[in-house]
């Protein structure tokens, strides 16, 4: 039955084709349009280009940072609200410990971090030199000043953090205006600073201050002579000054502003000589296993929403057009003490060794 049906269908199709063929032959007697007669048939529209679909942002993202736990958690919450299909795994410690872990992973050929956000540009300059960073020029970086981002896109600053003087206002009635107060008799045994062996900001500060004509290593020796206490990180410095254990502290500005807002008896002083400034850069590891999520994370941190989040946490935003929180100076208002990033990067380990031998520290 099936073969008969197929045969009938084939014959019918052949007959239909024959009729069409005869009709086509009959049409040959019609005159062809002359070359001067334009055709009235419109040209076929070009086929639309296939739509491109952006890679989906999902999976696991490993985030290494030196930010305080609460701030890192707020950043992750803001990001995952926008990208709910990404799970962020956090490793948090001081800059020097974060980088030591990263270096050990790189040596073993097993870098686990996708994104890195730590204290200062010289740290990233060193990682770039080791070819550990992916070049990524985020579209959001267009609104970041050129001085605070790498020309090749290896890293970009995320905020402005000045190191200032914290002063206990219950114990000190006349506010100082100079870094030299830390070497004066009134501050003998009453001052505290973070260790550059742990804190990236402190390592940067030592590098910058020792390269200023008015400070140098003589200033560090003066701190030693005046019984400066060296402790692990900036948070411990704040606790000591706010609690009245010490009168003066060398510390990043946002911690002082935040503590004062919460009612602590602390005042913040921007010394007249100027202040070292770090930008807590962010970068993507070249070995990242989830580059799409890593790029989305960088974009979020640098975006207007990300910068407003930073301001809400008490940081001075680095993006143009986003205001600094109350109590902090904008980058345009700060007198900045600086040194060559390449020089700071090259001398970092020697500076830390010299400081450790001179001052000790935890």
**Residues placed in the known binding site for Fe cation:** 254
- Whole-angstrom CA distances from 113 to 62, 63, 318 are 5, 6, 24
Tokens of 354: 């010299």
Beta bridge partners of 165: 250, 269
H or E stretch at 90: strand 86-92
Beta bridge partners of 337: 276
Which of these, 163, 343, 341, lies nearest to 253 by C-alpha position? 163
Q: 280 with 119: CB under 8 angstroms? A: yes
Tokens of 17: 């084709």
Provide the annotated binding site: 254
Rounded to whole angstroms, how far apart are CA atoms 158 and 81?
20
Q: Residue 339: count other Cβ atoms within 10 Å of its Cβ.
A: 17
Query: How does strand 115-117 pair with strand 282-285?
Result: antiparallel
Tokens of 94: 């001081």
Which of these, 67, 126, 118, lies nearest to 96 by C-alpha position? 118
Tokens of 158: 């995320």
* Torsion angles phi and psi, residue 244, rounded to 5: 85, 5
């Amino acid at each position: 039955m099936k073969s008969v049906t197929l045969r009938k269908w084939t014959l019918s199709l052949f007959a239909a084709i024959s009729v069409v063929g005869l009709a086509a032959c009959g049409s040959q007697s019609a005159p062809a349009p002359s070359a001067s007669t334009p055709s009235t048939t419109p040209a076929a529209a070009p086929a639309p280009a296939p739509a491109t679909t952006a890679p989906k942002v999902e999976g696991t993202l490993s985030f290494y940072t030196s930010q305080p736990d609460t701030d890192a958690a707020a950043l992750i919450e803001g990001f995952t609200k926008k990208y709910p299909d990404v799970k962020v795994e956090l490793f948090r410690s001081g800059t020097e410990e974060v980088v030591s872990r990263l270096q050990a992973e790189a040596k073993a050929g097993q870098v686990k971090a996708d994104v890195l956000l730590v204290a200062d540009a010289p740290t990233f300059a060193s990682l770039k030199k080791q070819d550990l960073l992916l070049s990524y020029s985020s579209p959001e970086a267009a609104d970041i000043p050129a001085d605070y981002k790498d020309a090749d896109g290896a890293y970009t600053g995320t905020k402005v953090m000045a190191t200032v003087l914290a002063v206990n206002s219950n114990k000190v009635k006349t506010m100082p205006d100079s870094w030299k107060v830390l070497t004066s008799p009134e501050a003998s045994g009453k001052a505290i600073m973070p260790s550059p062996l742990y804190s990236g900001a402190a390592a940067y500060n030592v590098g910058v201050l020792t390269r200023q004509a008015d400070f140098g290593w003589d200033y560090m020796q003066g701190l030693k002579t005046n019984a400066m206490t060296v402790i692990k990180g900036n948070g411990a410095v704040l606790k000591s000054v706010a609690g009245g254990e010490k009168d003066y502290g060398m510390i990043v500005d946002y911690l002082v502003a935040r503590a004062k807002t919460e009612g602590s008896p602390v005042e913040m002083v921007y010394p007249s000589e100027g202040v070292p400034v770090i930008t807590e850069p962010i970068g993507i590891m070249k070995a990242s296993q989830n580059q799409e999520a890593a790029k989305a994370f960088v974009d979020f941190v640098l975006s207007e929403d990300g910068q407003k989040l930073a301001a809400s946490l008490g940081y001075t935003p680095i993006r143009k057009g986003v205001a600094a929180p109350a109590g902090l100076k904008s980058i345009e208002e700060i007198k900045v003490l600086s040194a060559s990033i390449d020089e700071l990067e090259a001398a970092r380990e020697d500076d830390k060794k010299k400081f450790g031998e001179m001052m000790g520290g935890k």
